[in-house]
Amino acid sequence: MSAATSAAEAAAGGARLVVDGMVVEYPTAAGTVRAVSDVSFELGAGETLGVVGESGCGKSTMARAVLQLPAPKAGRVLFEDTDLTTLSGDRMRRLRPELQMVFQDPVSSLNPRRTVRDIVAEPLTIWKKGTRAERQQKVDEMLHAVGLDPQEYGGRKPTELSGGQCQRVAIARALVAGAKLLVCDEPVSSLDVSLRATVLNMLEDLQDRFDLSILFIAHDLAVVKNISDRVMVMYLGKIVEIADADALYARPAHPYTVALLDSIPDPDPDAPAPKASLAGDPPSPVDPPSGCRFRTRCAWAQDVCAQVEPPLAEVAAGHRVACHFPFVATGTLPIRERDHTAPLPG
């Protein structure tokens, strides 16, 4: 989707968030960083979109630009039909309670000198929501919702909590003032593996309860698998594949997605080590490769890949891929049985 009419259709079709043609660039000493290049997608009410890619692929920059932190250089961000990129500072501030973010490091995202109760109450105080008693009641409700007993934890400070408890407090703070869109930027990456499933399950419960739309960012496809309704894979500032989660894991069509899936370790300690199908580092976003940006690391690259940028085209209903030679024919093979030495497609 890139035309304005597409964005309007998506909004009319009930999408809570529509991102249309987003571009984020910023100058550096080395040149202009093309962090996000013509990215378009939509997110429904109560839907979770997993956003995955290696470090530097633009996923966090894109998510922050959705929240206008800062605004993108070009493109539109429609939140419930309102284009956030055109709002004045005052109107944007009034919408902030509905647009919230949870960060990777829960401990450093909380003020160590304040109590849990004060931290969670802060958005209500800033936006002057309710009386003091109502705010107190709302804070207690949110602490219960994230699994923390207000009597036991309300008076503690972040330094007296575990990382998982700090992330629960951060989520309570994000939701207390009525968030509708939650951007979660690697929210479980810094937690022990044993805690991750607990926090992810809690997020799913909160989503049902509060009808949240969630942009869930991770560098690892394994993390977003269970929580995402759809998954979007980014590479060097571009969407390379987007599909329903089940379809993407069962029938990945882009070589980069296949490589990411191949690199997921098997929980079985006796299983063979993951294939190292993704060699080298991504190129610089200051000077991305011509044509397909993935071509310098793609085993299937052919001449056309350097000359023509592949469009994000539909290969199945709701499944779009930016590749001249997508894996549609071999898509039914289990990931680990894919032959990366197979003859070139086409």
What length does the chain have?
A: 346
Among 119, 224, 261, 301, binds ligand SF4 (CB under 6 A): 301
* CA–CA separation, 307 and 327 (whole Å): 20
Site for ligand SF4 in 312-331 (CB under 6 A): 323-325
Q: Least distance (Å) from ligand SF4 to the CB of residue 185?
A: 26
**Dihedral sign (CA 89, 94, 95, 96):** positive
Nearer to ligand SF4, 199 or 305 (CB): 305
* CA–CA separation, 32 and 29 (whole Å): 8
Candidates 23-31, 57-65, 137-145, 295-303: pick the segment binding ligand SF4 (CB under 6 A). 295-303
Tell me: does residue 7 bind ligand SF4 (CB under 6 A): no
Nearer to ligand SF4, 212 or 259 (CB): 259
User: Max Cα separation, the chain?
Assistant: 69
Q: What CA–CA distances, in Å, run from 298 to 136, 238, 275, 336, 341?
A: 55, 16, 15, 18, 12
Tell me: does residue 298 bind ligand SF4 (CB under 6 A): yes
Q: Least distance (Å) from ligand SF4 to the CB of residue 245?
A: 21
Query: How many other C-beta atoms lie within 10 A of the C-beta of residue 187?
Result: 28
3-class state of residue 241 by DSSP: strand
Site for ligand SF4 in 228-257 (CB under 6 A): 255
* CA–CA separation, 196 and 174 (whole Å): 19
Query: How many other C-beta atoms lie within 10 A of the C-beta of residue 214?
Result: 25
Nearer to ligand SF4, 214 or 243 (CB): 243
Nearest by Cα to 262 from 281, 279, 246: 279
* CA–CA separation, 256 and 275 (whole Å): 13
Tell me: does residue 215 bind ligand SF4 (CB under 6 A): no
Nearer to ligand SF4, 159 or 307 (CB): 307
Nearer to ligand SF4, 38 or 204 (CB): 38
Name the CA radius of gyration of the chain, rounded. 21
Q: Least distance (Å) from ligand SF4 to the CB of residue 236?
A: 11
Tell me: does residue 53 bind ligand SF4 (CB under 6 A): no
Nearer to ligand SF4, 248 or 301 (CB): 301
Tell me: does residue 305 bind ligand SF4 (CB under 6 A): yes
Nearer to ligand SF4, 97 or 326 (CB): 326
3-class state of residue 280 by DSSP: coil
Q: Which residues sit at the interface with ligand SF4, rule CB under 6 A?
A: 255, 292, 294-295, 298, 300-301, 305, 310, 323-325
